[in-house]
Chains A and B, each alone.
Chain A
């Protein structure tokens, strides 16, 4: 069972519905026992970074522990940004530090927030994008982005005046700046891929 972390931020419901829609067994929970028993975790988030980290509270340590135990973890939007070291959105805040990099404001010169459907180049070696072709439009809505410095992370980019990291994969840790749960059929395919990754991991255990 995939567990979507319930930590009192907006939009957790959309992720659950999308996962159920593709036939996954999903629990929305903040209970440590349930989180530990998951086949994979989804960390959603519509919130400002600082608020989200504060709302996560003591769950942060547990999520980090579960991720480091090789269980698949998918961070979405702010949940993706939290995977990195720190953010400067409304003050300085520390993230989970699972992927090296900092979350910083989008540079001037483009409309901010970066809002809408943008085309993402999909590297063949990133598991989330299996079966999706070379590029696809996904839905973005954010004002900050992660400057990825982790040499062990695979990165997919979108173009927004510069090469903007749209998704990372570092071992069992996955993240998308865009919202797969709100990106129509292409987004649902990404969630299906993640569900399959979780299932495979479970069989190996």
Chain B
């Protein structure tokens, strides 16, 4: 049986892993290469590296980082942040990443998803969505771009469905409202998206306890759970997370 995945997320800024609350107030969480190797050795199912500065200067840094990470990480990893072209995707895959996540550029130019899927296969193309609860439309979420700083009029569920049609192989769904709060994932959001698409959805934003992981999988319908704060600062080990989920009947790779 296919297992549910535990995915630590490493937000990278100036070659350090950082973690904030609601995308702000960043706190240092360590060296990305060291942290990546540690997670690879201690049972994480995948890793996600996000270049949260995503400038031209950081682009080169992130390619070098991917190369270093790939030396010691023998589980799949996704790289994202500021990716704008098929050439950049190619460079990151050649440097050792399995998948890339696209966000702002895909909103501005949805055909990037289709181009990337046709060249690298759907399984390589992760659409990252930063979602915020709409203040004007209850029960709806709006897509935010540019590291969450710019809200758009695009509805999250509609965008997810469109991206699936274009060839996205997976959705990394971050609740900006929940991110870093450790108050639990936004499972209404997760459920709305997982019900609407047939590609895997990674729930992200808000993990604080082991129950939260279970809720995202069972109530939110998520195929994988992403977390940062609760694992970087060593509240829980990956094994503890998996043992907890297994004890409640969730299939995991222990």
A residues apposed to B, CB below 8 Å: 10-14, 17-18, 21, 46-48, 51, 78, 89-90, 111-119, 137, 139-143, 159-160, 179, 181-185, 187-188
* CA distance in complex: A18, B5 (Å): 22
> Could you tell me if B93 and A10 are in contact, using CB atoms closer than 8 angstroms?
yes
Binding site of A, secondary structure by majority: helix, strand, loop or mixed?
mixed
Q: Is there contact, CB below 8 Å, between A115 and B169? A: yes
The distance in angstroms between the C-alpha atoms of A41 and B120, with both chains bound, is 22
Cβ B76 vs Cβ A10 within 8 A: no
Question: Known interface pairs A10-B94, A188-B74. Does A143 touch B121 (Cβ–Cβ under 8 Å)?
Answer: yes
A117 in contact with B120 (CB, 8 Å): no
Could you tell me if B5 and A13 are in contact, using CB atoms closer than 8 angstroms? Answer: no
Q: Are A10 and B199 in contact (CB under 8 A)?
A: no
A143 touches B70 (CB 8 A): no
Q: Are B122 and A143 in contact (CB under 8 A)?
A: yes
Is B28 part of the contact surface with A, judged by Cβ < 8 Å?
A: no
Please tell me which one of the listed residues A13, A112, A139 contacts residue B95 in the complex, with CB atoms under 8 A apart.
A13
Question: Is there an interface contact between A46 and B98, defined as CB atoms closer than 8 Å?
Answer: yes
Asked if A12 contacts B94 (CB within 8 A), the reply is yes
Known: A12-B94, A111-B223. A118 touches B121 (CB 8 A): no
Contact with A along B210-254 (1 / 0, CB 8 A): 000000000000011000000000000000000000000000010
User: What's the Cα separation between A159 and B71 when bound, in Å?
Assistant: 31
Chain B interface residue count, CB cutoff 8 Å, equals 37
Chain A residues near B71 (CB-CB < 8 A): 17
Known: A46-B120, A141-B123, A142-B123. A115 touches B1 (CB 8 A): no
A160 & B2 in contact (Cβ 8 Å cutoff): yes
B50 at the interface (CB under 8 A from A): no
State whether the Cβ of B186 lies closer than 8 Å to any Cβ in chain A.
no
A13 touches B94 (CB 8 A): yes
Determine how close the nearest CB of chain B comes to the CB of A27; give it in whole angstroms.
17
Q: Are B74 and A117 in contact (CB under 8 A)?
A: no
B contact residues around A142 at 8 Å (CB): 121, 123
Query: Judging by beta carbons under 8 Å apart, are A111 and B200 in contact?
Result: yes
Residue of A nearest to B76 (CB): A182
What are 29 sample pairs from A and B whose C-beta atoms fall under 8 A apart?
A10-B93, A10-B94, A10-B120, A11-B97, A12-B94, A13-B67, A17-B70, A17-B71, A21-B74, A46-B120, A46-B121, A47-B119, A47-B121, A48-B118, A48-B119, A48-B121, A113-B122, A113-B123, A113-B200, A115-B170, A115-B223, A116-B2, A117-B3, A117-B5, A137-B3, A141-B124, A143-B123, A182-B76, A182-B98
B117 within 8 A of A: yes
Interface membership of chain B positions 189-207, coded 1 if the CB is closer than 8 angstroms to chain A and 0 otherwise: 0000000001110000000
Q: Which residues of B contact A113 (CB under 8 A)?
A: 122-123, 169-170, 199-200
Distance between A187 CB and nearest chain B CB, rounded to angstroms? 7
> Given A48, A116, A159, A182, which contacts B5 in the complex, CB threshold below 8 Å?
A116
